[in-house]
Amino acid sequence: MATPNTHYGAENIARMLSGARGIFFSGIGGVNMSSLALISKLRGFTVGGSDTSVTDVTRSLEASGITVFHAHDAANLEGYDAMVYTVAISPDNPEYKAALMSGIPCISRADYLGYVMTGYKNRLGVSGMHGKSTCTSMCALAYMEACADPTVLSGARLDAMGGAYRIGKDEFFIFEACEYMDSFLDFNPTTAIILNIEMDHVDYFKSMAQIRRSYSNFAALTGTQGSCIYNSDDENVRLVMLSYGGKPISFAVNDENADYRAVNVSVRRGRPSFDVCAFGDIVAHIDLSVCGNHNIYNALAAFAAAHTAGLDPTLIARGLSRFTGASRRMEYKGSVSGADVYDDYGHHPTEVSATLDGFKQMGYNRMICVFQPHTYSRTAELFSDFASALNVADEVVVAEIYAAREVDNLGVSSQKLAAAIGKKAVALPSFEAIAEYISKNAREGDLVVVMGAGDIYKVFPLLDLK
């Protein structure tokens, strides 16, 4: 069970933190939480936090002077004046319970981020069921190349930023806007991007109508003076935009009436190239360094945002062409047994399908996909779609389902998913067994992609990667 978001708003949080000297982050090892912790430290707060896992992120936080506890304990809060938490923690978390009992302000991550961003003039929120981290990273590179010096808060590490966040000037703030539990409704964008909308997070969203209402409310946060950059090839996005009261700006590949279009598209070894047509005129050419047609949409959205902000189209295109991927997004990890090995965060059938289709275009002999389903509810609700999407691979290894916040009461399993895929699929019970399978079955000319949003990345240390 997740802990609910707070909805105090930026003004109330500013009052709550007036005079505060120390902020504690429960779940500090998360990508967004760690970034917010570092930003808070740079703003002069004493910062500490807790996370049960020891990772490169937590080690980096400790190296920066932030205290990290590797167990959740009420005693950890001693000396702190406020607590920021991720909704992934349980309501029974001892730090959360202790803070509530002692009257220490508890602020959810999304609410706190909404407060932090109000110090910036132009605030660009990247939303969508898929592609948020990639598009946010593309926006970061485009703005950086065009010398806009943005502050960025992403959901994935980007080498050009040296992490998942970047501290720039106060003109532009670029952030990833997550829809889970309506977290993005606590944000304060002046410009919104909507990449795509479909069914996901079925433990929270119960219908497409509910999801569309949430995205409509997010877009409305820009106000009548703001703008929303939206994918007009996506039917659900178009429906959301019917009620939008600000300035709508569309992008598309197929919609000939879109404001920003990709035209003259060509693909070489999976990497698309295209001209950008803005309001009827070709203004730039982009040669993407990443695979997959879905990245055309991500790049178009980033281009439209930067161009609308008044940045040089040639420099925007150059920044987008420099993008080689964010952490865990079709990320090359090395080779084993002569096969190239990639890491990917895909955990929804649409993401799985888009990623595998992109890899298919790269010309490898065979593709082996190792997939870890994420949550029982998503696996059960989208079971047939997962089986169909994974069937694109030549061989499929299904890891045990990553439970995250859930317990197994739906009767779904990795073994059942492997059986639905067919003879090309096998379910394996441990990361050690998966690593052994890869080492024995991969060969020269193959591609191996290890995919999932849980802890499937733990397979990589078990492989003899070159």
pLDDT, residue 56, reads 87
Please tell me the total count of domains within the chain.
3
Question: Is residue 23 exposed (0-12), middle (13-18) or buried (19+ Cβ within 10 Å)?
Answer: buried
Which CATH number fits the domain that encloses residue 383? 3.90.190.20
Q: Do 398 and 291 lie in a common domain?
A: no
Q: Do 244 and 217 lie in a common domain?
A: yes
End-to-end CA distance of the chain: 41
Section 432-443 average pLDDT: 95
Is the predicted pLDDT of residue 223 greater than 80, yes or no?
yes
pLDDT, residue 408, reads 83
> Do the domain assignments include residue 289?
yes
Q: Which residues pair with 331 in a beta bridge?
A: 343
pLDDT, residue 431, reads 96
Section 168-172 average pLDDT: 93
Tokens found for residue 86? 């991720």
Range of the domain at 94: 10-114
Query: Which of 41 and 90 is assigned the larger pLDDT?
Result: 41
Q: Do 221 and 77 lie in a common domain?
A: no
pLDDT, residue 327, reads 74
Neighbours of 400 (CB within 10 A): 18
Last residue in a domain, options 114, 147, 162: 114
Q: Do 156 and 279 lie in a common domain?
A: yes
DSSP 210: H
pLDDT, residue 1, reads 54
pLDDT, residue 138, reads 96
Last residue in a domain, options 264, 293, 321: 321
Q: What is the pTM of this model?
A: 0.81
Q: Do 230 and 296 lie in a common domain?
A: yes
> Do the domain assignments include residue 200?
yes
CB–CB of 386/422 below 8 Å? no
Per the prediction, the chain carries an average pLDDT of: 93
Q: Do 160 and 282 lie in a common domain?
A: yes
Q: Do 296 and 262 lie in a common domain?
A: yes
Q: Do 301 and 368 lie in a common domain?
A: no
Tens digits of residue pLDDT in 39-84: 899 889 999 999 988 988 899 999 999 999 999 999 999 999 999 9
Last residue in a domain, options 282, 301, 321: 321
Q: What percent of the chain has pLDDT over 90?
A: 78
For residue 297, what pLDDT band results from cuts at 50, 70 and 90? very high
CB–CB of 214/185 below 8 Å? yes
Q: Do 295 and 414 lie in a common domain?
A: no
> Do the domain assignments include residue 158?
yes
Please give the Cα distance from 61 to 47 (Å, whole number).
10
Section 288-315 average pLDDT: 95
Tens digits of residue pLDDT in 182-197: 889 999 999 999 999 9
